[in-house]
Amino acid sequence: MQQLRPAELKSWLDDPARPKPLLLDVREGWEYERCHLDGATLLPMSTLQTRLGELDPQREMVVICHHGVRSFHVARFLEANGFSNVINLTGGVDAWAKEVDRAMPTY
């Protein structure tokens, strides 16, 4: 599974020549309301199995959580279910707030 640091994701998102990935936020709703990356899609880990059909297995996606642990497990699950373009955001939104967007609320 691929891993990506927040600064690497920021560079990707800032590159107009590169297609944007699906930013898949797998935290709970209250966490997403507290802080999230602009454009991220909320799909809580707890609902993943019942909502798997909503995702395109061919689409490049970056899976996001608080510290990168839940997203790692979700990315592995997605890969095991035929998703081939899955990347885990190492450090999650916490690392994003520390390394990229210091104005982002943390918890």
Over the stretch 85-106, which tens digit does the pLDDT of each residue have?
A: 999 999 999 999 999 999 999 9
Residues of the domain holding 47: 2-54+67-99
- When pLDDT is averaged across residues 26-49 and rounded to a whole number, the result is 97
User: Could you tell me what percent of the chain has a pLDDT over 70?
Assistant: 100
Q: Is residue 95 part of a domain?
A: yes
Residue 1's pLDDT is 86
User: 55-83: per-residue pLDDT in tens?
Assistant: 999 999 999 999 999 999 999 999 999 99
Cα(80)–Cα(86) distance, rounded to whole angstroms?
11
CATH number of domain containing 37: 3.40.250.10
Whether 65 sits among the annotated catalytic residues: the reply is yes
Total domains, the chain: 1
Q: Is residue 60 part of a domain?
A: no
Q: Give this prediction's pTM.
A: 0.96
Q: Is residue 15 part of a domain?
A: yes
Catalytic annotation, pick one of 26, 64, 65, 74: 65
Q: Is residue 75 part of a domain?
A: yes
